[in-house]
Amino acid sequence: MQVALKQIRLDLKKEGMSISVIREINSLFTLHHDNLVRLYDVAVGRRLHKIFLVMEYCEQDLATLLDNMQNKFTEGQVKCILKQLFEGMKYLHDSFIIHRDVKVGGVVAGK
């Protein structure tokens, strides 16, 4: 199984991990939805400040697709992408989570 690693940026001037990072990791562990990327584990590197999220691997995101498109999306494709985005956002909102940083690079195509 292929996975993606996302490094958590820690403020080395402060001790420990910020509460917002801990909250995000906890939320990602508890959320399970077809339109959200899944968090499998948290890994620590050779040094304690090297912390990685082990996440579901997705071949491309919407930003990559947009950058490499030969033709415009069809109306049906746009509807499908928006439906997936709105279903994922609804699940988050139903779970009392507000995503404050939705951007094209974070939207996974075909998820």
Question: Is residue 101 annotated as part of the catalytic site, yes or no?
Answer: yes
Distance CA 58, CA 104 (A): 14
Could you say which of 11, 34, 61, 101 is catalytic? 101
Q: How do residues 6-53 score in pLDDT, each as one tens digit?
A: 998 776 666 667 788 888 899 999 999 999 989 999 998 887 778 899
Angle (CA) 45-38-30 rounded to 5° is 95
CA neighbours closer than 13 Å in the CB half-sphere of residue 108: 14
Fold adopted by 1-57: Phosphorylase Kinase; domain 1 (3.30.200)
pLDDT at residue 46, as a whole number: 83
* Beta-carbon contacts of residue 102 (< 8 Å; ≥ 6 apart): 85, 89
* Beta-carbon contacts of residue 61 (< 8 Å; ≥ 6 apart): 104, 105, 106, 107, 108, 109
Is the pLDDT at 109 greater than 60? The verdict is no
Q: How do residues 42-87 score in pLDDT, each as one tens digit?
A: 998 887 778 899 999 988 888 888 888 899 999 999 999 999 999 9
Q: How do residues 95-108 score in pLDDT, each as one tens digit?
A: 999 887 777 765 56
pLDDT at residue 45, as a whole number: 84
> How many Cβ atoms are within 10 Å of 3's Cβ, its own excluded?
14
Distance CA 99, CA 77 (A): 24
Domain boundaries in the chain?
1-57, 59-111
